[in-house]
Amino acid sequence: MTDAAITIEGVSKTFRVFTERNNTLKSALLRRGASAYRDFHALKDVSLEIPQGSTFALVGDNGSGKSTLLKCLARILVPDSGRIERRGRMAAMLEVGSGFHPELSGRDNIYLNGSILGMSKQEVDARFDAIVDFSGVEAFIDQPVKNYSSGMYVRLGFSVAIHTEPEIMLVDEILAVGDATFQEKCAEKFADFRREGRTVVVVSHSLPQLRSMADRAAYLDHGSLRAVGEAGVVLEQYADAARTNIRTDDNGRVRWGTGEAMVDRVEVLGPQGPMTEEGLRTGDRVVLRIHYTAHSRIPDPNLGITMDTAEGEHLWACFSRDQGARLPDLQGPGHVDITIPSLPLQKGQYSVHAGIVGTGPDDVVDFVREIAWLTVGAGSGLDSGGPVSMSARWQVPAAAAVTEGGQS
C-alpha cells in the first residue's frame, strides 16, 4: 500500500492555439475550411507522488504547466495521456468565486457552493456559523455576492471549501488576493491540516510564503518536471535555475556551491558572549562569526551574510568585498567576524544564511541557508511595528509648543 495522497503517472496535456481562425465565409473558402493552429504542450509526461499529510507546492514560471496540472488533479481538465489516482475526499479552490451565483446572497451561496463540494444541507447548517466567522464577511452575508470585492469572494469561497473537511485541498494563486490577516488565518488552517494528516497542494509565486508552509515541492518548466523533493531544495533551484549542486547536508540545511571550502557554522555573539536562550536585545552589539574550512586555497575570498524574517522575507545582505574589506586567502580552518554595532531589529526570529564566493559573483564556493537564527527579545525604544528599529526620535519645535491654556 502506498502512503501517497495523489499518484501522477505519465500525465500529458496539449492545447490547440489558433493563430488564424475562419471568422468569415471568405476566409473559410480561401483556406478550404482549415484553420491555422499550433500545439501547446502544457504538460509533458509528468510523474510524481504527493505524500499524504504534506503541504506540497507546485512552482514554475507562467506557462510552466502548474495550474494545468492542478486542474487535472481537480478533474476540471482531462489529461490526454497518463493516469492520476486520488485517495481521499478532495476540495479545490482554483478561481475567485468559483461555484458562486452572482445574484444570490452570501448566505445562499454558502449552501449552493457547499452542495457542489459534496456537503448535505444538515452539514452546512452545522458549519454555517464557522464558515461565516472564518470568512469575515458576516456584515454582508445577506447581500448579493455580485457586490462583493474580490477579497470578499476569496474569503467566503475558501472558507466554504476548507469547512468541507477534505482529505486533499487544492489551492491556486487566489490566496494572494486576500489581506494579510486572512492570509495569516489560512496559514494557521494549513498548519491544522498538516497536524490532522490532511494534504494541501498549493500553487503560488510567493517563495517566502511557500518556504514557511511547504515541506515538499515540484518545479515545472515548460510542461516538464525539472525537480521534485524537499521544499527547501526545490524552491532554491527554482529561485535561480542557474544554481548547481543544490543539496541538503547532514543537518538538513539547503546548500550549494563547488565545495572547495565549507561554511561550518555561524556563531552569534552578544554583549555577554554566545547568544543564550533569552536571545539578544534591540540595540545590542552583535558579532556574527563565520567558521569555515578551506580544503584548497581560496584566493581573494568574498564572504557574506544574508538575513530573512521568520516568514522568509529578505531583510539584509552584507558581503566583505562590497564593504571594501580585503580578506586573506582561505586555507584550512579559520573564522571571520562581521560586527553589527547596534542591532536594529525588533522582537522576533530571524534566519541567517552565510556563504563564500570566489573571484566572480556567480562563483559560489559554498552557500548555506538557515545556518543560524537570531532570537531578539524586547529592547529599549521599541517601534510600533515592522522588523526593524530605526532609532527614531520625536521632537516638537519650540514655536509649536502648547501653553497651559491650550494657546500656542
| pLDDT tens-digit series, residues 304-324 | 999 999 878 889 999 999 889
If you search the block for the grid coordinates 518556504, which residue do you land on?
A: 211
Q: How confident is the model at residue 406 (pLDDT cuts 50, 70, 90)?
A: very low
Pick from 42-51, 62-71, 375-384: least confident: 375-384
How high is the pLDDT of residue 18? 63
Residue pair 154/174 in contact (Cβ under 8 Å)? The answer is yes
- Each domain of the chain, given as residue ranges in start order, spans 4-19+37-240, 246-377
Arithmetic mean of pLDDT, 332-342: 96
List strands edge to edge, sheet with 168-171. Answer: 90-93, 168-171, 199-203, 55-59, 216-221, 224-230
Q: How confident is the model at residue 108 (pLDDT cuts 50, 70, 90)?
A: very high
Task: Find, among 376, 406, 287, the residue nearest to 338 by Cα.
Answer: 287
Q: The CATH number of 4-19+37-240 is which of 3.40.50.300, 3.40.50.720, 3.90.45.10, 3.40.640.10?
A: 3.40.50.300
Separation of alpha carbons 9 and 73, rounded Å = 12
Radius of gyration of the chain (CA): 27
How high is the pLDDT of residue 251? 87
Cell output for 404:
497651559
Residue-level length of the chain:
408
Top pLDDT among 268 and 96 is at 268
- For domain 246-377, the CATH superfamily is abc- transporter (atp binding component) like domain (2.70.50.60)
Separation of alpha carbons 272 and 267, rounded Å = 13
Top pLDDT among 39 and 405 is at 39
Task: Find, among 242, 209, 259, the residue nearest to 368 by Cα.
Answer: 259
> Residue 405 pLDDT more than 60?
no
| Distance between start and end Cα atoms, the chain | 81
If you search the block for the grid coordinates 546548500, which residue do you land on?
A: 255
HEC states along the chain? CCCEEEEEEEEEEEEEEEEECCCCHHHHHHCCCCCEEEEEEEEEEEEEEEECCCEEEEECCCCCCHHHHHHHHCCCCCCCEEEEEECCCEEEECCCCCCCCCCCEHHHHHHHHHHHCCCCHHHHHHHHHHHHHHHCCHHHCCCEHHHCCHHHHHHHHHHHHHCCCCCEEEECHHHHHCCHHHHHHHHHHHHHHHHCCCEEEEECCCHHHHHHHCCEEEEEECCEEEEEEEHHHHHHHHHCCCCCCCEECCCCCEEECCCCEEEEEEEEEECCEECCCCCEECCCCEEEEEEEEEEEEECCCEEEEEEEECCCCEEEEEECCCCCCCCCCEEEEEEEEEEECCCCECCEEEEEEEEEECCCCCCEEEEEEEEEEEEEECCCCCCCCCCECCCCCCCCCHHHCCCCCCCC
Residue pair 9/42 in contact (Cβ under 8 Å)? The answer is no
Q: How confident is the model at residue 368 (pLDDT cuts 50, 70, 90)?
A: very high
How high is the pLDDT of residue 172? 84
